[in-house]
A and B are shown apart, each in its own frame.
Chain A
Amino acid sequence: MMNRKMARTFTLGTFALVAVLCAARSGRGGDAKAPYPSMAPLDEYLMADRDAEIALARSAAPPSISSDATVMVLGRHGYETAVKGKNGFVCIVDRAWMSGFDSPEFWNAKNRGPSCFNPQAARSILPITLKRTDLVLAGLSKDQIMDGIKKVFQNKEIPALEPGAMAYMLSKQGRLNDSAGHWVPHLMFYVPVTDNMTWGADMPGSPVLLNPHFNGAPEPVTEFLVPVSQWSDGSPASTDHH
């Protein structure tokens, strides 16, 4: 039963991702149709209830992982530590500006992407999130943010990507974008920028998908996704997918 559910999850997830990618591609046509052409007021990106944001961040991974994780929440001056952890994982709620720079939802104030980074990713991927957030909060344009990211990599201000960097995204309370909603529970794996074929990603029958949100534009990181069968609370994924 479990694996049939996984099959349905994966199939639906694939369709959803295709829909998301198609939406992103069509959004490149012109800003006139872009639903989120610029940054919304900062308050729309913030969560008023700090405890709710902590809970949402923790929902990215099973409690056996997230309950001992450091939790960061977004404040007016950037992400700040709300709970000090002890297992090396760091859980946060990503905002829309962690999308690809060409995503039409780059400024979607409704997006909430709960993620729990493992220790390797917390040291080498989370700094990208923090840096993008700092640049956003400084009021920079997309082009300026991209330039800023390029510079920090050139200056080696962001640590080199560690082997084994990965993250959990198993929250059904999240909202990844307008098309996919909370999408499906999945794991994310980070490697130095590479071709999707090196993991067999997006090939017919492959359970591996490429997430295009870094992929050298400008971060020199490729992110692969593998859908899994259960949400972080242990419930099966297929019945909740939309």
Chain B
Amino acid sequence: MSTNRHLIEQEELMAYLDGELPTDRATETLSHLELCPECQTLAADFRGLSQDLLAWEVETREVSISSEMDAALAERLQKREAAKVSWPKVENRVMTNRWVWAGALAILCVAVGLLMLTGRNKKDNHSTVYPSMAPFGQYLIPDRNAEIAMARSAAPESISGDAKILVLGRQGYETAVEGKNGFVCLVERSWVSPFDSAGFWNPKMRSPACFNPAAARSILPLTIKRTEMVLAGLSKAQMIDSIKAGFDKKELPAPESGAMCYMMSRAGYLNDAVGHFVPHLMFYVPLTDKSSWGADLPDSPVTLNPQFEGGPEPITEFVIPVAKWSDGTAAPDM
């Protein structure tokens, strides 16, 4: 992480997971995470360690303590209270003591060091977090109404309320609700990630998106196409070849001018590292250099999403964070 191969330092990654990075840097970090299995694993390790520490409680006394000892302890405590001895207040023993914090920090430092030492050896394993497709049932949402609601959560109700809704079934995406404003909302699955993403087969990923009419005509077909190929059991290489052929034969459309999409759901799960990320808009243009939008430059609000980027779809996707979730609440700290 500290070598020049990575765009983010470990400290920044930790700050990112703690929601302390500025939005532009956070989106850059997300972009890097998308393509860096090593960083994803490290982020997951950090997060897991953090969760373990937060969940760590000092064990309560054993129930097998004898009644005599219990009584003696109670008597001793009573005497101290009577003597008005002040003891540290321990209302909740979860991480309230500075020594516990210090210990946790020490453990974290050791863990980070170990991860650094073993990083190279683990590299091969990092790419196999999700080495192949999980049983298809894991990608499905059993409750159809829940999937409809999640799809709608990608955009404000004023937009998604009149949108067409697609849900994923065993034969592919199918229309659950007909719309009337030209928008199409659905919950994308992990296989819309870049083909070299470590999370390509992550069955936990749920990515609510509402495509505007131009994107529904020219970007959504790519999601549909990828899904069909996944269901047909094609390998990644076969999928890439098929998509290339689709564009060569013009069976797949070029992105229409003005194609964009809303991703403002806080119910989503974009990947293991970022969870629901931040509410944002996405813009699709024919494959171009990211500098043509000033993306990923210092203080630029625009970030490149490497989802397509010629690999193989000839489309560049830019991301711009916005202030609120689709329900109107302010986005939480990153």
Chain A residues with CB under 8 Å of chain B are: 1-4, 6-11, 61-65, 87-89, 118-120, 161, 163-164, 166, 168, 170, 185, 187, 189, 191-192, 194, 197-200, 203-208, 226-230, 232-234
Closest to B280 in A: A207
27 pairs from A and B in contact (CB 8 Å cutoff): A2-B23, A3-B23, A3-B323, A3-B334, A7-B323, A7-B331, A10-B323, A10-B324, A61-B294, A64-B297, A65-B294, A65-B297, A161-B257, A164-B283, A170-B301, A185-B301, A189-B283, A199-B212, A199-B258, A200-B158, A200-B183, A203-B158, A205-B159, A205-B324, A207-B322, A208-B281, A229-B301
Q: With A and B bound together, what is the CA distance between A88 and B334 in angstroms? A: 32
The answer to whether B320 and A187 have CB atoms under 8 Å apart is yes
Other-chain residue from B155, B156, B183, B286 in contact with A163 (beta carbon distance below 8 A): B286
Q: How far is the CB of A128 from chain B (nearest CB, A)?
A: 17
Q: How far is the CB of A183 from chain B (nearest CB, A)?
A: 15
B-chain residues with CB within 8 Å of residue A230 when the two chains form the complex = 24, 299, 301
The answer to whether A229 and B159 have CB atoms under 8 Å apart is no
Q: With A and B bound together, what is the CA distance between A166 and B300 in angstroms? A: 13
A-chain residues with CB within 8 Å of residue B283 when the two chains form the complex = 164, 189
Q: How far is the CB of B275 from chain A (nearest CB, A)?
A: 14
The 4 closest A-B pairs by CB, nearest first: A205-B156, A6-B323, A164-B285, A191-B258
B-chain residues with CB within 8 Å of residue A2 when the two chains form the complex = 22-23, 333-334
B-chain residues with CB within 8 Å of residue A229 when the two chains form the complex = 23, 301, 321, 323
Q: How far is the CB of B202 from chain A (nearest CB, A)?
A: 25
- The A-contacting residues of B in range 283-326, CB under 8 angstroms, are 283, 285-286, 288, 291-294, 297-302, 316, 320-324, 326
Other-chain residue from B213, B264, B288, B333 in contact with A198 (beta carbon distance below 8 A): B213
Closest to A197 in B: B181
The answer to whether A7 and B324 have CB atoms under 8 Å apart is yes
Q: With A and B bound together, what is the CA distance between A206 and B281 in angstroms? A: 10
Q: With A and B bound together, what is the CA distance between A61 and B295 in angstroms? A: 12
Q: With A and B bound together, what is the CA distance between A36 and B194 in angstroms? A: 54
Is B142 positioned at the interface, with any CB of A under 8 Å from its CB? no
Which of B22, B299, B302 has the largest count of A CB atoms less than 10 A from its CB? B299
Known: A64-B297, A199-B258, A204-B156. A164 touches B212 (CB 8 A): no
Is B330 positioned at the interface, with any CB of A under 8 Å from its CB? yes
Other-chain residue from A62, A198, A203 in contact with B294 (beta carbon distance below 8 A): A62
Is B328 positioned at the interface, with any CB of A under 8 Å from its CB? yes
The answer to whether B257 and A192 have CB atoms under 8 Å apart is yes
The answer to whether A166 and B293 have CB atoms under 8 Å apart is yes
The answer to whether A6 and B257 have CB atoms under 8 Å apart is no
Q: With A and B bound together, what is the CA distance between A163 and B255 in angstroms? A: 9
Which of A6, A87, A189, A229 has the largest count of B CB atoms less than 10 A from its CB? A6
Q: With A and B bound together, what is the CA distance between A187 and B257 in angstroms? A: 17
The answer to whether A205 and B260 have CB atoms under 8 Å apart is no
Q: With A and B bound together, what is the CA distance between A217 and B156 in angstroms? A: 29
Identify 12 new A-B residue pairs, CB closer than 8 A, beyond the known A62-B299, A197-B182, A229-B321.
A2-B23, A2-B334, A6-B321, A65-B294, A119-B292, A163-B286, A164-B288, A164-B316, A191-B257, A204-B157, A229-B301, A232-B299
Closest to A200 in B: B159
Q: In the complex, how many residue pairs between chain A and chain B have their CB atoms under 8 Å apart?
A: 143
B-chain residues with CB within 8 Å of residue A7 when the two chains form the complex = 323-324, 330-331
The answer to whether A164 and B321 have CB atoms under 8 Å apart is no
A-chain residues with CB within 8 Å of residue B294 when the two chains form the complex = 61-62, 64-65, 89, 118, 168
The answer to whether B214 and A3 have CB atoms under 8 Å apart is no
Is B278 positioned at the interface, with any CB of A under 8 Å from its CB? yes
Q: With A and B bound together, what is the CA distance between A164 and B332 in angstroms? A: 30
Could you tell me how many residues of chain B have their Cβ less than 8 Å away from some Cβ of chain A?
A: 50
Q: With A and B bound together, what is the CA distance between A97 and B299 in angstroms? A: 30
The answer to whether B334 and A198 have CB atoms under 8 Å apart is no
B-chain residues with CB within 8 Å of residue A226 when the two chains form the complex = 281, 320, 322
The answer to whether B257 and A3 have CB atoms under 8 Å apart is no
Known: A3-B330, A205-B158. A64 touches B298 (CB 8 A): yes
Is B262 positioned at the interface, with any CB of A under 8 Å from its CB? yes
Other-chain residue from A63, A87, A204 in contact with B291 (beta carbon distance below 8 A): A87
Q: With A and B bound together, what is the CA distance between A207 and B294 in angstroms? A: 21
The answer to whether B255 and A1 have CB atoms under 8 Å apart is no
Q: With A and B bound together, what is the CA distance between A1 and B326 in angstroms? A: 18
Q: With A and B bound together, what is the CA distance between A6 and B331 in angstroms? A: 9
Q: How far is the CB of A40 from chain B (nearest CB, A)?
A: 34
Q: With A and B bound together, what is the CA distance between A233 and B300 in angstroms? A: 10
The answer to whether B258 and A194 have CB atoms under 8 Å apart is yes
Q: How far is the CB of A121 from chain B (nearest CB, A)?
A: 10
- The A-contacting residues of B in range 174-189, CB under 8 angstroms, are 181-183
Q: How far is the CB of B130 from chain A (nearest CB, A)?
A: 30
Closest to B260 in A: A199
Closest to B262 in A: A200
Closest to B183 in A: A200
Q: How far is the CB of B85 from chain A (nearest CB, A)?
A: 42
Q: With A and B bound together, what is the CA distance between A168 and B158 in angstroms? A: 27
The answer to whether B285 and A10 have CB atoms under 8 Å apart is no
Q: With A and B bound together, what is the CA distance between A191 and B212 in angstroms? A: 13
Known: A10-B323, A120-B292. A187 touches B299 (CB 8 A): no
Closest to B254 in A: A163
